[in-house]
Structures are given as structure tokens and as C-alpha cells.
A and B are shown apart, each in its own frame.
Chain A
Amino acid sequence: MKIARILFTIILFAALALAPAIRAQQETPPDDIRKQVGTIIVTPGNGPNLAIADFVARASGANAAVATFNEVLWADLEFAAVSGLVGKSLYPKSLLPDPASLNFEQWSGDPVKADYLAFGNLHDQGGALSADTYLYDVKTRQQLIASRHSGDARRIAHEFADEIVKLLTGRDGIATSKIAYVSGGSIKMADYDGFNARVFASDGPSLLFPQFSPDGRHIAYVSFKSGVPNIVVRSSDGGLVGGTRFNSTTSSPSISPNGQLAFSSAIGGGGGMDIYVANLDGSNARQLTRTRSTVNISPRWNPKTGREIAFISDRGGSPQIYVMDSSGANQRPVIARGGQSDSPSWSPDGRYLAFTYGGAGSFQIFVADVATGQLLQLTSRGRNESPSWSPDSRHIAFQSSRTGSWEVWQMHIDGSGQRQVSRGGGRSPTWAK
């Protein structure tokens, strides 16, 4: 018995001695938002290494298209931030148009040391540009992708980039996603990287606040066509769905995942603005907030659940972010820290709220963990406002004044990788599949 007790004591002792060490290994500080978002974005040396060999032209006159393709593919995968990209200066000099020309040692050994290798060729197929695209695991020598894409050079590069992202992460990429934004009083629609911008809507002297529905099939915005600002809802191919026809200012629309419209309006009278929910065509409006001469604006559905709405209210003095059930019940402040908050935007996975925060002329983009309320500042150059999430919840589009005029910019969720998207003016971006 005594021995058993001694044995037990020893084991207990050893276990106790080890326990703190094991716990220390397990405990990533659960509340550190910077660390959290850091795991979402892969930085070089902190994940797999991807090499992208320049694609080879196999048709006369395809040289310009190949140059564009190579440039776009690189930019897409760099911004996707799902792997480190091995710099092209380290690559072997020989061309790599197809698997038959692939020498694995050249890519797995020094100095490339790639884990994955993307390559292929562009050729002419019945008058259309076509790309044979490959992805290999260089270490196991396994072919992961062998596919063909046809169309415009930018488009097929985007498609291949998304194919690679899907394979490496299991999640949909964003290279084929689109953004809409306000430019010169009209609403423009463009590829996610700002190219192929075109006017989507110009039905009014000055259009504002476009917002895609979570599925990207609809877009709502504000028009002054009737003289009083009201909401217009269109399908993303341009067809008119409906809107509001109130005689008081009605603004900042947001569409729920099941197709309901939230907006703020002064129709209640009393000198304030309140939040309403209506059908997508503007019918059957119901009032959710009712606070005397206070401003309740910028409603934004939780796009994941559709059960909650974040909004801005100045009922506590300065404009702050509140959240309520989509029925209007359970209204409560979520981020209250003085100063002024504006334009909340709920991430598609429901996890984060991005918003504009500041005061005295300086406004920056912040991200808050919805669960803990912890904040992370993402921008600091110029004024930065109106954040909008990428469909994969890993990137944010916003408007910035850093170049001297408002333009749409993009960045990763940790604030890195900031790049300009619009040229010639851009505000209030919205981003969808």
C-alpha cells in the first residue's frame, strides 16, 4: 500500500511539474485580436511557398495577353495571401509550358525551395484565348490541378488564381469577385482589383451608399431622383427590383441573407432618423428603433445569420455602434469608447465588425471581434472610411483620402497589403461574390 502511495505521489508530482508546460503550449491568448487575424493572413516564411513560373505563349500574337495573364495571376495570389510567393529572380531560366518540361529538382532545391508550382501556357483555340493551367506539389511530385480556362486574359488568370486558392485552403477565393462603388455621382461596378470598371447605375443626380446583398445577386443604393433621397434596389445584372418612395430622407440600405431590406429614415418625424426593415422591393416597412430626436443610421445585417443588425446611434451622446435583434428587440451598445463611430460592416462569417472610428477630422478603419469587443486599428495614412468586407472575410475595401482625393483601396484583415483599386475617384465600396 505504501509503495502504491509513493508511486501515486511521484506520478502526481511529475504530472504537476509538466502541467504548466503543457498548458503554456496550448494557450494562445484567446482574446488577442491581433494574433487572431495574424493567423488568417499568410506572410512569407509563415506558410507554404508557391512558385509561379511565367506562362508561355504558344500562339503568335499572344505575347501581350501572356504578359497580362502573368501579371494578374501574380497580383491575385499575392493579395490572396494564402501562401508565400517565391520571387521570380530565383527561378530556373528555362521555359516551363507543360508538365513534360518540368524538372522537379530545379524547383524543390535551392534557391527556389517551392512547395507548390503553378505553370502552363496560353494558346489560341478556335480564335479564343485559352490557357492550360497546372499546379504541382513539388515535394511529392503530385499533380494537383490540370485544367483549361478560356476567355479574356485577366478573367482566366482570376479563375486559375481562385482554383489554386480553393485547392490550397479549401475555401473560395476572391479573384473573380466584384466591387461596386460611388464615382462621380454614379455607381460603378468593377472586377475586385478595380479593372473593367463600368457605370452600373446613374438614375439620379447623385447616387450614394451602394450595398450588395450577401449572395451578390442584388444591390441597393440611395438615389435623389425624386428630390428626396430614397432607396433603389436592383438585381446585379441591372434590372429594377423596387425601392422606397417616402417623402423624408431615407438612406443607408442593407440587404439580409434572406432578402430583407434594412434602412434608416426620417419618415417617423420628430427630427430624428430611425431604422426600418422592409421587403426587398420596399414594401411592408416596419420601424425597429424609436428614440426621440436621436439619429439611428447605417443598419448592417449580420450576413451570416441574418438575426442581428448593427447600427449607429447617438442616443448615448456621440455616435456609437449598437446591435439589435432583427425584430428590433434587445438594443445594446457593442463598442462604446467615446469619439465617433460610423459605417459598421459585419464580416460575411459573422465574426468581426469593421467600422470607421475617430474624431476631430481624423477617421480610420478599425476591426472589432464581435464576441469580445476587442479592437484593432488597420489604417493610419490620410482619412480612411466606409469599410466593406470581401466575400471570404479576409480582406476589406474602404475609401481613403491619402492620395489627395477619395479613392477605393483594399487591404488584408490585419491591415497589411494596402493597395489602390479605383482610379479617377471612388467612395463607399461594396464587395460581393
Chain B
Amino acid sequence: MSVNKRTALALGVLLMLAMSAPGGGAQKDKEVYAQFKVAFDELKNEVIVLERQVRSLQESQDRASGQMSTLITQIIDNVTAIRQAQSRIAEGSNSAISQVNGIDERISAVNQRIDRLSNQIAEIKKLVENLPKLPTFTEITPGNPDQLFAAAYGDYSRGNYDLALSEFRQYVETYPSTEMADNAQYWIGECLLAKKQFNEAIAEFDKVNTLFPKGDKVPAARLKKGMALMETGQVEAAKAEFQAIIKLYPRGSEAVLARQQLGEK
């Protein structure tokens, strides 16, 4: 409102200046021009401000009306669905004359329940919409192994080990035959290492070998198992693990790391 008033004021000044302009000499012209320019600049600024406001208003309106139209569509769909159901019930009741008695009442009871239900659903929907969006958590569509793996690894890299652990476990359980299943099993061990649960980690690294013996994660899992054994003080078992890696996978980078481990200890 006050922008409008100021705009009107500036316009007034402009008009007055324009009317008084022809009366004066060159000096006055200059002054008038300067005043004119100031008023004009002010106007320009107001226009820019107004433009911004209109734009942000427009955007929020667009957003609101988008949500509204989705809601309306949903309501219409629901009403249609209920009407269809009703007409089907009506047809059924016509054909089954013996059951006609009381069915109308029941239908209206059903209708009431449907009304109540759809109110409840609308409330739930509102609740769902108003749930604060947590950008740090990826929503997972059921049946998408890549997303589950990505979410699990995302949680691991952010240090959410418990969450990552349950997600990797879920992955191995649900998608044991995908290409990434041995990776997921390996990361279960890693999560436990991060939580310093070394004995549990050793058991999970073992599973990489027993469940996915042909996977490419076996050498890394055995190396990590060796390191976990070291942590628990089982030095001889660890050494045996490192020697096995050097013997079985002499060309891999794990062999280099295993040799280092043996050299150090």
C-alpha cells in the first residue's frame, strides 16, 4: 500500500515538475532536470521493488494453486470412485430382491463410514504433507535395490553407521543375487568395524567369502578380517589371513597391504 502511495507521490512530483519546467531559465531547467531525474530514479526503484514483490507473490500463488488443483483432482476422483461403488451396490441390490430390505439403510451407513474414512484419509494426507521434509534422508521407493544401496552407502559416508548397517543388511536379505550384494555384505563388516564391534565384523567379513565366493570383494573382506583379528589380539589367525591373501591374490593391491601388515607386526 505504502509503495503505491509513494509511487503516486513520485508521479505527482513528476507531473508538477513537467508543468513548471517551461517557465524557468537554463539554470532552472538544470535544477528541474536534476529533480526530475531523482524523482524518476526513485520511481524506477519502486517499480523494481514492486516487480520483485509481484514475482514472489506470483510464485507463491502458483505453488498454492498447484497444490489446490491436486487436492481438487483428488477429491473429484474420490467422489467418482464412491459414486461408482454406490451404483454398483445399487445394481447389486436390484438383482438381489430378497436382500433389498434394509440394504438402503446399510448403504447409507456405509456412506457415512466412507465419509468418515475419507475425512480421516484427508487428515492423514494433511499430516503427511505437513511432515517436515528432512533433506538428509533419502526416501526409498520399495523395490529399487540401487536406491537402497545408495541410501545405505550415503548413511555410511555421513557416519550414520547404525542406519547404514540396517540398510545394508536389508539389501543383502532382499537382493542376495544382485551384482552389489557382495559389496553390501562387505559394507556390513565395515559398519561394524566403524562401531568397533570387531568380532561381529569378523563374522560378517567371513560371509563375503561364504555367500559370495566368486565376488570381487573377497580379497578386501579377508584383509579387513585380518585387521579386525589384529584388533582383537588374535595375531596368529590374522597372520594366517594375510598370508592366505598374498598366496591367493598375489597381484591385487590387497596383497601389498597384507605384506605391509605382516612386515609391521
Contacts and interface: CB of A to CB of B under 8 A. Distances in A.
Interface stretch (B15-23, B29-37, B75-83, B170-178): B75-83
Interface stretch (A15-23, A145-153, A359-367, A420-428): A15-23
A27 interface: yes
Given A18-B78, A349-B158, A13 B151 contact: no
B190 A7 contact: no
A39 B134 CA distance: 9
A128 interface: no
B184 interface: no
Contacts of A14: 78, 81-82, 85, 114, 117-118, 121
A3 B106 contact: yes
Given A30-B141, A325-B190, A290 B256 contact: yes
A286 interface: yes
A385 to B, nearest CB: 24
A31 B147 CA distance: 8
Contacts of B151: 30, 371
A28 interface: yes
A286 B260 contact: yes
Contacts of B253: 289-291, 328-329, 331
Nearest to A352: B157
A293 interface: no
Contact of A17 (B77, B113, B124): B77
A369 B92 CA distance: 56
Interface in B33-83: 45-46, 49, 52-53, 55-56, 59-60, 70, 73-74, 77-78, 81-82
A110 interface: yes
A321 B219 CA distance: 22
A15 B141 CA distance: 19
B129 interface: yes
Contacts of B49: 87, 89-90, 111
B198 interface: no
Nearest to A3: B106
Interface string B124-158: 11001100010110111100000100110111111
B159 to A, nearest CB: 5
Contacts of B55: 45
A25 B190 contact: no
B2 interface: yes
Interface in B157-210: 157-159, 186, 190, 194
Given A21-B77, A111-B53, A305 B129 contact: no
Given A36-B135, A308-B157, A371-B150, A7 B81 contact: no
Contacts of A28: 133, 139
Contacts, number: 156
Given A31-B147, A371-B138, A329 B220 contact: yes
Interface in A236-292: 286-291
A369 B150 CA distance: 9
B99 interface: yes
A302 interface: yes
Interface string B79-117: 001101100010010000001000100100010011001
Interface residues on A, range: 35 or more
Interface in B1-18: 1-3
A24 to B, nearest CB: 8
B186 A330 contact: yes
Contacts of B194: 305, 307
Contacts of B159: 304-305, 350
Contacts of A90: 3, 49
Contact of A6 (B89, B124, B139): B89
Which interface residue of A28, A40, A288, A325 has the most chain B CB atoms within 10 A? Answer: A325
A111 B3 contact: yes
B157 A302 contact: yes
Interface string A323-335: 0010111110000
B85 A329 contact: no
Contacts of B59: 45
B224 interface: yes
A22 B74 CA distance: 9
Contact of A45 (B56, B117, B254, B256): B56
B227 interface: yes
Contact of A13 (B81, B125, B150, B220): B81
Contacts of B244: none
Given A14-B78, A329-B257, A25 B157 contact: no
A167 interface: no
Nearest to A111: B3
Contact of A110 (B1, B129, B153): B1
Question: What are the 7 closest A-B residue pairs judged by CB atoms, nearest first?
Answer: A371-B154, A45-B56, A17-B81, A371-B150, A350-B158, A21-B74, A39-B135
Given A14-B85, A305-B156, 9 more contacts: A6-B110, A10-B82, A30-B138, A30-B139, A328-B256, A329-B253, A331-B253, A349-B158, A369-B150
Interface of B: 1-3, 45-46, 49, 52-53, 55-56, 59-60, 70, 73-74, 77-78, 81-82, 84-85, 89, 92, 99, 103, 106, 110, 113-114, 117-118, 121, 124-125, 128-129, 133, 135-136, 138-141, 147, 150-151, 153-159, 186, 190, 194, 217, 220, 223-224, 227, 253-254, 256-257, 260
16 contacts: A10-B82, A10-B110, A17-B77, A21-B73, A26-B128, A28-B139, A31-B150, A39-B133, A89-B49, A111-B2, A111-B49, A305-B194, A307-B190, A308-B157, A329-B254, A371-B153
